[in-house]
Amino acid sequence: MLTALAIRNFVLIDRLDVEFGAGLCVLTGETGAGKSILLDALGLAIGARADAVAVGRDGGQRASVTATFELPDDHPVRRHLAQQDVEIGGGEPLMLRRTISAEGRSRAFINDQPVSVSALRAVGEILVEIEGQFARHGLLDQANHRQMLDAFGGLGERLDQTRGAWDDMRAAEAELETVRADIERLAKEGDFLRHAHGELAELDPRPGEEAELAEARLVMRRGEKIIEAVDEAVLLFAGDDGIESRLGRAMRAVERADEQAAGRMADALAALERTAAEASAAVEALSAARDAIDRDPGRLAMLEDRLFALRRLARKHDTDVDTLAVLKEEVAGQLAGLDAADQDLARLEERARDARARYATCAAALSSARTAAAAALDEAVAGELPSLRLGGTRFVTSVSSDAPASRGRDGVDQIRFEIASDPDLPFGPIDKVASGGELARILLALRVVLLRSNRIDTLVFDEVDAGVGGATAAAVADRLYRLAGEAQVLVVTHSPQVAARGVSHLQVRRAAGSGNGSDATTTQVVPLSARGRREEIARMLAGAEITDEARAAAGRLMAGDGQ
């Protein structure tokens, strides 16, 4: 609940610290005292639109408002903030702070951590709801009506089923559209893919083949020169005066010398024999290499044709020759995918149809449950209206599923709270049809019915009793008191009946001078004692001159609540 509001340099308020308690807190004061300024300040702290005119009269300071809340550790706001990486310690109060510069620049903080204004507003809307003839959110915002009806009807499980069916349907449709797009793309590329695969399959490239062909082509083109060099080398070894002939003569000379040297030339002779054997092996290797050189012109032409064909195909596909083998497999895979696409398409279309049917079933069941909940809500609200002097007003919860745009994750329904202020008039949106005082009381009746299913920590009512008195004002006071049993309720009121039911009472008054030498008028908020409450309620009853009769009447009103 809201425990404190600290306001600095805001409109007519120089410095103000207000504390709030549980239950029903009433704010009273003469017209123009500045009660609306308090609500504007609270609205600013929970994310309302900022305006430079809110900065105090001196214009040289920034305006700031801080709203402090006490929340249990398991409060949804704490989980929400944790998801937004805003750290709030266990047991630590929550402080929403807003500042406005004289130039109109606004900043937002949650427990002194900078946040966006939208993040501040999201938290504020969970904690506080301001209702009244000038409100533009809460029950007046049609965007909230669906959520309120679902909570009132206890439709959470059906809503979860519908959301799950919607998510499944969207996933199935997305996959179907992806496959359709792939099929359309492949169909457009089909002729090209088949032609490309035919070329690749016919050529059947191998990894590394380009290097092999280029090397073989180079050898064949240089074949004549290679053979000439080999022949020259063979002649040097095996010619009439070649190495082999000379080694033979040398071996015979060493053999004769060895006979005369009694075998002392054996090692030299062995070395010559090995050299002769190596020379003979070299001649054989040269001859084999010469014979291995392919000089067939037809073979060279075939080799060059394949090499050039591979390179042409690589340029055509903007790749290199060694990648052609991989490309061949990729194209084959795309063709296989194209052939299998029809089967996938049929399967996915069936899945999407089933998902749509399941969503339609869940949404229809949810819509039916909403219609039943709407009837129950209408009946409950109708029971509240007569005692609030709204007996001629009709309330209806419109559940419509005609608009295609209403189809979504939360079902197919558009929910809107409508009223007819006269039996002969058509229904219309509550904020367009009702007058100011009627609207405030209708919102009160709605909030009484919805409170337990749509929990709000702090409810604020702005002049909900406008234009009524007597029994109607007492009925308004009774309902506010009942609401205060479920949530903290702050009410700005001119009704003595409402003021008498307050657990706490704050008087808003205008004061001349701020205590710092200024004669400017400021707004002050004063907590009232029991005696002060009686005087204020007597003023509300009697006007400017408080009489003993008014004091007695005020005492009776207060005593009627056991105070």
Domains (range + CATH), the chain: 2-133+437-527 (3.40.50.300), 179-340 (no CATH)
| Residue 44 · residue 50 · CB < 8 Å | yes
Residue 537 tokens, joined: 């309620």
Neighbouring residues of 168: CB distance < 8 A, sequence distance ≥ 6: 355, 358, 359
Residue of 179, 176, 197 lying closest to 187 (CA atoms): 179
Question: Nearest 5°: CA angle at 73, between 72 and 78?
Answer: 100
Supply the pLDDT for residue 97.
95
Nearest Cα to 444, choosing from 466, 422, 429?
A: 466
* 299: three-class secondary structure by DSSP: helix
The tokens for 154 are: 């206890």
> Which pLDDT does position 562 carry in this prediction?
38
Q: Are 532 and 563 in contact (CB under 8 A)?
A: no
Hey, how many other C-beta atoms are within 10 angstroms of the C-beta on 214?
Answer: 15
Phi, psi of 415 (to 5 degrees): -110, 135
Q: How far apart are CA 560 and CA 517, in angstroms?
A: 45
What is the pLDDT at residue 356? Answer: 95
The one-letter amino acid at 78:
R
CA distance 385 to 391: 6
- Chain position carrying tokens 């197919």: 412
| d(C-alpha 140, C-alpha 145), whole Å | 8
Of 492, 553, 493, the C-alpha closest to 38 is 492
With residue 400 as reference, give the H or E element that holds it.
strand 394-400
Integer angstrom CA distances of residue 416 from 431, 452, 465: 11, 20, 24
CB burial of 49-59 (b: ≥16 within 10 Å; e: otherwise) equals ebeeebbbeee
Distance CA 403, CA 401 (A): 6
Distance, CA of 549 to chain centre? 62
- Which residue type occupies 221? R
d(CA 106, CA 98): 7
Give just the sign of the alpha carbon dihedral 530, 536, 541, 545. positive
**For position 292, what pLDDT does the model report?**
66
CA distance 351 to 121: 41
For residue 343, the number of C-alpha atoms closer than 13 Å in the C-beta half-sphere is 5
Kindly report the backbone phi and psi dihedral angles of residue 463, in degrees, each rounded to the nearest multiple of 5, phi listed first: 50, 50
pLDDT of residue 362: 95
Among 139, 538, 560, smallest CA distance to 377 is for 139
Distance CA 363, CA 164 (A): 11
The DSSP symbol for 239 reads S
The conformation of residue 491, written as its DSSP 8-state character, comes to E
pLDDT in the model for residue 222: 64
Distance CA 284, CA 160 (A): 90
d(Cα 490, Cα 25) in Å, to the nearest integer? 5
**What integer pLDDT is reported at residue 563 of this predicted model?**
40
Q: How far apart, in whole angstroms, are the C-alpha atoms of residue 510 and residue 506?
A: 13
The pLDDT assigned to 134 comes to: 45
Cβ pair 325, 205 in contact under 8 A: yes
The pLDDT assigned to 132 comes to 60
Task: Please report, for residues 17, 133, 142, the alpha-carbon distance to residue 393 in angstroms, rounded to integers and kept in the order given.
Answer: 41, 16, 20
The whole-number pLDDT of residue 68 equals: 94
Q: Give the single-character DSSP code of 62.
A: -
> What is the dihedral sign for C-alpha 179, 182, 188, 193?
negative
Closest CA relative to residue 119, chosen from 97, 104, 103: 97
Determine the Cα–Cα distance for residues 77 and 95; give it in Å rounded to an integer: 12
- In angstroms, the CA 241 to CA 137 distance is 117
CB 42 within 8 A of CB 137: no
Q: What gap in Å lies between CA 268 and CA 258, rounded to an integer?
A: 9
Nearest C-alpha neighbor of 450 from the set 153, 22, 187, 97: 153
Residue 528: its H or E element: none
**Which residues of the chain fall below pLDDT 50?**
133-134, 515, 561-563
Asked if 69 contacts 96 with a C-beta cutoff of 8 angstroms, the reply is yes
